[in-house]
Amino acid sequence: MVMRVNRFLFLLGALAGLAPIEFAAVTPDPQTPKKPVSTKYQDVTVEDPYQWLEQDNDPQVKAWSDAQNQRTRQYLDRLPDRAAIEKQLTEWYAKTSPSYSSLVSRPGILFAMKFQPPKQQQLLVRLTSADDLKSEKVVLDPNVLDAKGTTAIDWFVPSLDGKYVAVSLSKGGSEDGTLHFYETATGKALPDTIAHVQYPTAGGSAAWNADGTGVYYTRFPRKGERPDADLNFYQHVYFHKIGTPDSEDTYSIGKDFPRIAEIALEAARDGKYVLATVANGDGGDFAHYLLAPDGTWKQITQFSDEIKIARLGRDNALYLVSRAGAPRGKILRLPLDVPELKNAAEIVAAGDAVIEHIVPTSDALFVGDLLGGPSQIRRFDLNGKSETIIPLPQISAVQEMLALEDGSLLFRDISYTEPAAWFNCPNQKTEPVKTALRSTSPVSFADIEVRREFATSKDGTKVPLNILFRKETKRNGQNPTLLYGYGGYGISMSPNFEFTRRLWFDGGGIYVVANIRGGGEFGDEWHKAGNLTKKQNVFDDFAAAAEYLIKENYTRPEKLAIQGGSNGGLLMGAMITQHPDLFRAAVSSVGIYDMLRVELAPNGAFNVTEFGTVKDPEQFKALNAYSPYHHVVDGTKYPSVLMMTGANDGRVAPYHSRKMTARLLAANKSENRIFLRTSSSAGHGIGTALSERIKQLADTYAFLFAQLGITEELTKH
């Protein structure tokens, strides 16, 4: 989960020695029944007192979860800032300009996802260009389909001529998508639908054939095709002809792929080829397959080849990012008339930058690089020559790159202090021009300074910190500080803009993002130094970041809070159990805490390539050494914790949050409170309605304000 915040008039917050705020009495911590279950892993027997909380549909579990929610609401709703925070956030969102993402180009048409508060969900629109907002037409508005705002667009793929668009729709944050088809010009739905093309375990994808008469698409097994335990695994590719029932769809490829394969499809601009990128779970290894004009699939790369990105060019070539002997990436070009990896030639050598995006156009190759967090863009000719740097705002991130029909480049750039904007870099030119697709903020960040400093981890590794604060902030050790981290899957914590952080800054707060190991900020080596048996490095890096902020007098433990979600929730759990005295409060969303049973859940099996498995002796040893749930110690004084989860989460089972909450409640001997908040209308966070997102944010910041002793007076700006 990415934190959001915004402007309040600062009154009393962050005064030296101000005590955390506690209000009306809360229902005492409930006594959760223990029903111990013993399991032997390798030669170690592990007792689990709360395994019974794993059963989502058990009436006793539902009653327990409801009681926790009531207790949490009782506390949060009595905080004096809570209602005012939600009101202010709602007003800010209503003033927010539309934002555009997921752009796709077709001849004469730009498709985009448009977020336009107060609409609950993003809608799909089309434009004639990025500079002609008057040309915008709505193709599909899920808010019209579903007045409750719980239906979301997972992804969309236009036909190569732009006449039709395939759209995956899911409900309630479940990400369980059904494929629908629409006419671009009219928004009219075609009768065709295909169920279960998308699920959180492996995602989903589609690619149109050359003449727009059908699509190749991913699909999970149907009931009866495999055992029930496998219905969210074994993703295959099928072909659907428009106007025919999906029962007549033909199998294309996938039977030889791993159980945890995740398939992404891409069609060449002329439709001659279809590329399938197959991930082996979530660990970052990929194989690539090419569907040739003769209708046969050919494997181009294997998982062991270390090809991380593949893109079809417009010159009958495949462009590849290889990390074989190049942890930060080098670029290869493979002619499609001899599609074997041995025929690929290196055209851009490895360097200090991590290659994150490649976009081949008709006569150029644009490369998006990562420089430890911030971005840069380089332009080459198609042979990797004539390198030029495209100027970008300082300490910013390029989130998307797109080639247009005329060979120019569109890219979306964002920073910590400026909202996202799409830029156009015309063909043969290097100076980007801001387009009409730009966001504005209801509040200014002109007074916010961004510093990039480095903490030293336990083993001596330098860990970058991005520190945001108001320019007049004094380093006196009294500042409320929120430290955010993730550290997994090679995902980089690049600069991003969240206008709602204004709330935190106006409370005198400092906001910090740590670029810890496990991410991809410095390439494969940085990722692999924080996965599998080396996961402890991630926690050591984050602890070092907290210690640095205290040592450098930005804050002190009583004024420090930490936040993370999903894999970052695991990070929160490790910090709570390994360093309970280092911070005052933690907000942990949709987190993973029982690392010995995580692989038993459908999506957990996909995570084995990132975390490891209890079936491997060394990996079990590492998992057992840090698994947060198993390292809660009775009688320990724990910080205040707000656990947040979604009942429809298909990525991380909600039971992780239930079990961790129960264990902390039983063990905690401090006066600090442990709370669990379960949203019945959300999942992992993707597709969550805007109103629910605002409520989650209001709960988060009311909790943090209370715990860190911040008092605010909400004022309209």
**Sequence-separated contacts (24+) of 190-197 with Cβ below 8 Å:** 190/164, 190/242, 190/243, 191/243, 192/240, 192/242, 192/243, 192/244, 192/246, 193/246, 194/219, 194/240, 194/246, 194/249, 195/222, 195/246, 196/220, 196/222, 196/231, 197/168
Over the stretch 57-85, which tens digit does the pLDDT of each residue have?
Answer: 899 999 999 999 999 999 999 998 899 99
Q: What is the pLDDT of residue 205?
A: 97
Contact 661, 677 (CB under 8 A): no
Would you list the domain boundaries of the chain?
9-56+443-713
Q: At a CB cut-off of 8 Å and minimum separation 6, what does 685 contact?
A: 1, 173, 565, 566, 589, 590, 646
- Do you find a cis peptide bond into 464, omega within 30 degrees of 0? no
Instruction: Centre a 10 Å sphere on the Cβ of residue 11 and count the other Cβ atoms it contains.
Output: 15
Amino acid, res. 25: A
Q: Among residues 253, 226, 256, which one has the least CA distance to residue 238?
A: 253
Three-state secondary structure call for residue 600: helix
The encoded tokens of residue 127 equal 């434009």
Residue 9: band (very low, low, confident or very high) from pLDDT cuts 50, 70, 90 = very low
Residue 489, token pair as written in the block: 């899957």
* Beta-ladder partners of 379: 366, 388
Pairing of strands 640-646, 585-589: parallel
Side chain identity, residue 407: G
Predicted confidence band of residue 395 (pLDDT cuts 50, 70, 90)? confident
Indicate the CATH number for domain 9-56+443-713: 3.40.50.1820
Average pLDDT over residues 109-114: 97
pLDDT digits (tens, 9 = 90+) for 644-677: 998 767 677 889 999 999 999 999 999 999 999 9
3-state secondary structure at position 716: coil
**If you average pLDDT over every residue of the chain, what do you get?**
92
Beta-carbon count within 10 A of 634 CB: 9
Angstrom distance (rounded) from CA 611 to CA 617: 13
Spatial contact of 427 and 433, defined as CB atoms under 8 Å apart: no
Cα separations in angstroms, 81 against 89, 138, 589, 633: 12, 38, 21, 33
Lowest mean pLDDT among 183-192, 545-554, 600-609, 622-631: 600-609
459-500 pLDDT, tens digit per residue, is: 999 999 999 999 999 999 999 999 999 999 999 999 999 999
Q: What is the pLDDT of residue 716?
A: 36
| pLDDT tens per residue across span 268-307 | 999 999 999 999 988 889 999 999 999 999 999 999 999 9
E-strand ranges in 515-632 read 560-565, 585-589
3-state secondary structure (DSSP) of residue 18: coil
CA proximity to 435, closest of 413, 457, 403: 413
Query: In the numeric block, which tokens belong to residue 450?
Result: 């961004």
CA R_g for the chain: 25
User: Can you give the pLDDT at residue 24?
Assistant: 43
**Going by C-beta distance under 8 Å and a sequence separation of 6 or more, which residues neighbour residue 251?**
236, 237, 238
Q: Could you give the residue numbers annotated as active site?
A: 566, 684
Q: Residue 466: how many CB atoms within 10 A of its CB? A: 21
Position 270, amino acid? D
> Is 25's pLDDT higher than 60?
no
| pLDDT band at residue 686 using 50, 70 and 90 as cut-offs | confident
DSSP letters, 473-519, are ---SS---EEEE----TT--------GGGHHHHHTT-EEEEE--BTB
Q: What is the pLDDT of residue 18?
A: 34
Instruction: Tell me the C-alpha distance between 601 and 260, whole Å.
Output: 12
Phi, psi at residue 343, to the nearest 5°? -90, 0
Q: How far apart are CA 269 and CA 567, in angstroms?
A: 36
d(CA 373, CA 467): 13
What does the alpha-carbon distance between residue 442 and residue 92 come to, in Å, rounded to a whole number?
Answer: 6
What is the enclosing helix (H) or strand (E) of 691? helix 690-708
Which helix (H) or strand (E) element contains residue 546?
helix 536-551
Contact between residue 336 and residue 317 where contact means Cβ atoms under 8 Å apart: yes
8 pLDDT more than 50: no
The pLDDT of residue 691:
85
pLDDT at residue 715 above 50? no
How far, in Å, CA of 8 to CA of 95, rounded?
15
Measure the CA–CA gap between 358 and 375, rounded to whole angstroms: 13
* Among candidate residues 614, 613, 564, 619, the one with its CA nearest the CA of residue 592: 564
Tokens 């916010």 correspond to 448
Pairing of strands 433-438, 448-456: unpaired
Full 3-state SS string of 516-530: CECECCCCHHHHHCC
C-alpha span between 118 and 139 (Å, rounded):
19
pLDDT for res 12: 25
Tokens of 709: 């002793």
Residue/partner pairs of 176-183 with CB below 8 Å, 24 or more apart: 176/200, 176/650, 177/204, 179/206, 179/215, 179/217, 181/242, 182/139, 182/140
Question: Given pLDDT bands bounded at 50, 70 and 90, which one contains residue 31?
Answer: confident
Tokens, residue 305 = 């080849």
**CA–CA separation, 698 vs 82, rounded Å?**
6
Overall size of the chain counted in residues? 717
Among the ranges given (331-340, 558-567, 650-659), the one the predictor scored with the smallest mean pLDDT: 650-659
Q: What is the pTM of this model?
A: 0.87
Q: Which amino acid is at 376?
A: Q
Distances (CA, A) of 188 to 155, 181, 508: 18, 9, 51
Q: CB within 8 A of 203, min separation 6: which ones?
A: 218, 262, 264
pLDDT reading at 166 higher than 50: yes
What angle do helix axes 59-77 and 82-95 make, rounded to 10 degrees? 90
